[in-house]
A = this chain, B = another copy of it.
Amino acid sequence: MANKKISIKDIAKALGVSITTISFIINGKAEEKRISKEMVKKVEDYVAKVGYRPNHLAQSLRSGKSKVLVLMVEDISNSFFANIARLLEEKAFKNGYKIIYCSTENNTEKAKELIHTFKSRNVDGFIITPTAGLKNEIENLIKEDFAVILFDRWIPDLDCSHVIVENRRSSFEATQHLIENGAKKIVFITVTSDQTQMQDRLAGYLEAVKMAKMSPYVFEEPFHTSTEEFQGDQIKEYLLDHPDADALFFATNYLAFEGLHAIRKLELKIPKDVQVLAFDDHFFFSLYQPSISAIAQPLELIADKLMEGILIQLDDCGKSNSVEFKVELVNQFIQRKSTEFKV
């Protein structure tokens, strides 16, 4: 059991057979290469007996393929990404691929470094939540015929497969919902970011507000992701300055958590004093009291489409660059107590 490592060569020696033959058998090409049944059996038995495992590294080096996909997300501790990761891994596994994840922490330099590392490890494909700074790297990946697919956001002026959701539309409709509920002053709370999904969510809000001839109120926090402290003091200050705000629309769920802290500190009642709504659902929202309305992204479907999109590229290796795989999925609005119609 502790035989350091047994290679194809050792087997060849032990069995007095050539390396080639063994390689064929191991790779299921026995039929094709018309190798005798006895030979196959002999080799297979021996392989099973010594517990031989081919060295993937060497296989990759030789073949240029690795059956490994990389998932690069902004922050793996964000529940949206963590869930996508889990779903993707499952699906990849079924298709014979391994997934390895890593977090870019929205650090373009780190992301570049990671991309180079993985490139030189012959991974077959990349699933990425990109930052704008990654445009060149991604372009190169495509040029060099790696399978690439983006999600959550995409990069303008870059022709690349992606899976996103209807950010603008959902945001628009959700805002209208608040308006129908009687909101007069809706504040959109977001972070500074030029990422497309954030821009689209904002756009949807602005559009709905404009259509209702209301004034827009946008509060923008400095960029951060979910992992920081959720104290919400900045939002609290904003609300103190805008005591007549009667609805808050949070661009992400972690912003909503901060907002809930702020609301609590100010002892505001939801939805009586303020309605609350968030983009991107979280199990938390159904448990909080009152429960929080949210726009739920179709996680399972996103993962499905990502696999589908990347497999297309992986399969027809080479001519893939022409493939158009740009998917925009529908979200589901989940109304809960925080936006209940005011009687």
- Which of B61, B79, B86, B114 lies in contact with A61, CB distance below 8 A? B61
Selected interface stretch from A99-107, A154-162, A165-173, A179-187: A99-107
A58 interfacial by beta-carbon distance below 8 Å: yes
Q: Closest Cβ of chain B: how far from A73's Cβ, in Å?
A: 11
A335 interfacial by beta-carbon distance below 8 Å: no
Query: Are B227 and A86 in contact (CB-based, < 8 A)?
Result: yes
Query: Are B257 and A119 in contact (CB-based, < 8 A)?
Result: no
Residue of B nearest to A3 (CB): B144
Task: Write out the residue numbers on chain B whose beta carbons fall within 8 Å of the beta carbon of A283.
Answer: 230, 257
Query: Are B89 and A98 in contact (CB-based, < 8 A)?
Result: no
A85 interfacial by beta-carbon distance below 8 Å: yes
Query: Are A289 and B289 in contact (CB-based, < 8 A)?
Result: yes
Task: Write out the residue numbers on chain B whose beta carbons fall within 8 Å of the beta carbon of A86.
Answer: 75-77, 103, 105, 227
Question: Mask for A84-95, Cβ within 8 A of B = 1, else 0?
Answer: 011001100100
Query: Are B102 and A98 in contact (CB-based, < 8 A)?
Result: yes
Query: Are B117 and A56 in contact (CB-based, < 8 A)?
Result: yes
A155 to B332, alpha carbons, bound, how many Å? 44
A4 to B2, alpha carbons, bound, how many Å? 41
- Which of B56, B75, B114 lies in contact with A120, CB distance below 8 A? B56
* Chain A: interface size category: 35 or more
A206 to B212, alpha carbons, bound, how many Å? 61
Query: Are A77 and B75 in contact (CB-based, < 8 A)?
Result: no
Residue of B nearest to A227 (CB): B86
In chain A, residues 111-165, which have Cβ atoms closer than 8 Å to a Cβ of chain B? 114, 116-117, 119-122, 140, 143-144
Task: Write out the residue numbers on chain B whose beta carbons fall within 8 Å of the beta carbon of A5.
Answer: 144
Residue of B nearest to A101 (CB): B101
A261 interfacial by beta-carbon distance below 8 Å: yes
Given contact pairs A56-B117, A100-B100, enumerate 11 new A-B contacts (beta carbons under 8 Å).
A53-B116, A55-B61, A55-B120, A57-B57, A57-B60, A76-B82, A76-B89, A76-B101, A78-B82, A257-B283, A264-B289
Partner-B contacts on A (CB < 8 A): 1-2, 4-5, 53-58, 60-61, 75-79, 82-83, 85-86, 89-90, 93, 98-103, 105, 110, 114, 116-117, 119-122, 140, 143-144, 227, 230, 257, 260-261, 264, 283-284, 286-289
- 15 A-B contacts (beta carbon < 8 Å): A1-B140, A2-B140, A53-B120, A57-B61, A57-B120, A58-B61, A76-B86, A77-B79, A86-B227, A89-B103, A90-B105, A230-B283, A230-B287, A261-B287, A287-B288
